[in-house]
């Protein structure tokens, strides 16, 4: 058999000289831990280079572990965006805490995200202690340094060092992306050798319906206050292509009381209209086509305490 008749060897590209070993790839999971609102989801989006996780100025925006994928050259980072660590209050927040612990255990590296603007506090010390106990490989990211001057940044870096959570501490701004490259290079160097875990073109593991529901929830959270953001869950019931370039999305926003429903609907339906308009723009950006969004509000008492329902919502 001549050389030319040899079947293609998997892992060897056409350009590889005959006999060259396939280039080794590296891939692994990087979990982001930290208090609510420190900017974990914003940082995941910055590292991935696309919007995979929703973001708001209200704490406890993230409810499920979301994977964001960054594939660059021979290395794939799978970022695991986690709910903020907090004291559980109900079945929902209990599950969120369980998710955080499990994902940290299963990750190759952990980034402890601190809020540079606020400095280090008891909540951060609690999480640092938990990570030490889990024997996680911890890197610290001090986020929101765009809000600090130089002396302010140095002071908070010192506080972060005193925390003793990880050897390496990176000042970053997830918003301006300052410092993000250095953090990424450091994380890539820590990934184990192995095949890619996702297709290189994938940005996230979330199914379409969940992604769209999250974008709608973001629009609702951003426009409401106090207990309402925490009481809203969104379920996409149907996604249907009406014609080329136009998709209809039917979704329901659940809340826990009539008064919350009243707030989401608003005077003369103004609030639901504003949420719908903002959400539709986001859905259109995500899908790359026009969207007809059919949005309604329903009361579902105590959904946050309903274990069977949380299962069905994929909040494990
Ligand atoms: N100035 C500034 N704001 C930021 C930065 N990163 C995030 N934020 C803001 O901080 C708020 C919280 O951001 P998120 O990314 O939702 O925070 P999170 O840690 O994921 O929050 P939870 O999901 O609730 O745990 C939002 O208003 C962001 O716009 C940053 O680098 N600089
Ligand atoms: Mg988040």
- pLDDT score of 20 more than 80: no
151 vs 7, more confident: 151
- Probe target for ligand 1 pocket from 111, 174, 225, with the most ligand atoms within 8 Å of CB: 174
Strands 109-115 and 233-243: unpaired
- pLDDT score of 23 more than 80: no
Q: Whose CA is nearest to atom 11 of ligand 1?
A: 57
CA 55 to ligand 2 center in whole angstroms: 6
Q: Which ligand is nearest to the CA of 34?
A: 1
- Probe target for ligand 1 pocket from 34, 39, 40, with the most ligand atoms within 8 Å of CB: 39
Q: Summarize pLDDT for 33-58 with one digit per residue, the tens.
A: 999 999 999 999 999 999 999 999 99
Q: Whose CA is nearest to atom 32 of ligand 1?
A: 144
**pLDDT value at position 7?**
46
Pocket lined around ligand 1, Cβ cut-off 6 Å: 34, 36-42, 55-57, 59-62, 83-84, 143-144, 146-147, 173-175
**pLDDT value at position 8?**
47
* DSSP code for 204: B
Write out the DSSP string of 51-120: --S---SSS----S-EEEEEEETTEEEEEEE-PPP----SHHHHHHHHHHHHHHHT-SEEEEEEETTT--
| Residue % of the chain over a pLDDT of 70 | 93
- pLDDT score of 104 more than 60: yes
Q: Which ligand is nearest to the CA of 53?
A: 2
Write out the DSSP string of 154-167: HHHHHHHHHHTS-S
CA 36 to ligand 1 center in whole angstroms: 9
Q: Summarize pLDDT for 245-292 with one digit per residue, the tens.
A: 999 999 999 999 999 999 999 999 999 999 999 999 999 999 999 999
Is the entire prediction scored with pTM above 0.95? no
Residue 257 in 3-state DSSP?
coil
């Amino acid at each position: 058999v001549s050389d030319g008749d040899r079947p293609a060897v998997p892992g060897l590209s056409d350009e590889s000289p005959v006999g060259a070993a396939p280039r080794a790839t590296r891939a692994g999971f990087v979990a982001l831990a930290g208090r609510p609102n420190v900017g974990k989801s914003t940082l995941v989006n910055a590292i991935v280079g696309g919007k995979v996780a929703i973001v708001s100025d209200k704490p406890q925006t993230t409810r499920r572990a979301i994977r964001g994928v960054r594939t660059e050259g021979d290395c794939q980072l799978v970022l695991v965006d986690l709910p903020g660590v907090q004291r559980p209050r109900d079945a929902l927040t209990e599950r969120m805490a369980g998710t955080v612990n499990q994902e940290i255990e299963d990750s190759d590296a952990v980034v402890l995200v601190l809020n540079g603007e606020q400095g280090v506090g008891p909540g951060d010390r609690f999480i640092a202690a938990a990570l030490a106990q889990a024997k996680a490989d911890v890197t610290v990211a001090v986020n929101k340094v765009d809000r600090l001057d130089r002396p302010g940044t140095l002071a908070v870096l010192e506080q972060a060092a005193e925390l003793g959570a990880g050897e390496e501490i990176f000042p970053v701004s997830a918003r301006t992306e300052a410092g993000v490259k250095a953090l990424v290079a450091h994380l890539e160097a820590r990934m184990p050798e192995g095949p890619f875990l996702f297709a290189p073109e994938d940005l996230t593991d979330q199914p379409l319906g969940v992604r769209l529901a999250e974008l709608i929830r973001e629009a609702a959270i951003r426009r409401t206050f106090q207990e309402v953001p925490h009481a809203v869950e969104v379920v996409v019931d149907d996604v249907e292509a009406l014609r080329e370039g136009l998709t209809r999305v039917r979704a329901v926003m659940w809340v826990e009381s009539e008064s919350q429903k009243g707030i989401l609907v608003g005077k003369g339906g103004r609030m639901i209209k504003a949420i719908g308009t903002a959400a539709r723009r986001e859905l259109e950006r995500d899908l790359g086509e026009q969207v007809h969004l059919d949005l309604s509000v329903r009361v579902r008492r105590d959904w946050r305490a309903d274990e069977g329902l949380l299962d069905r919502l994929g909040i494990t």
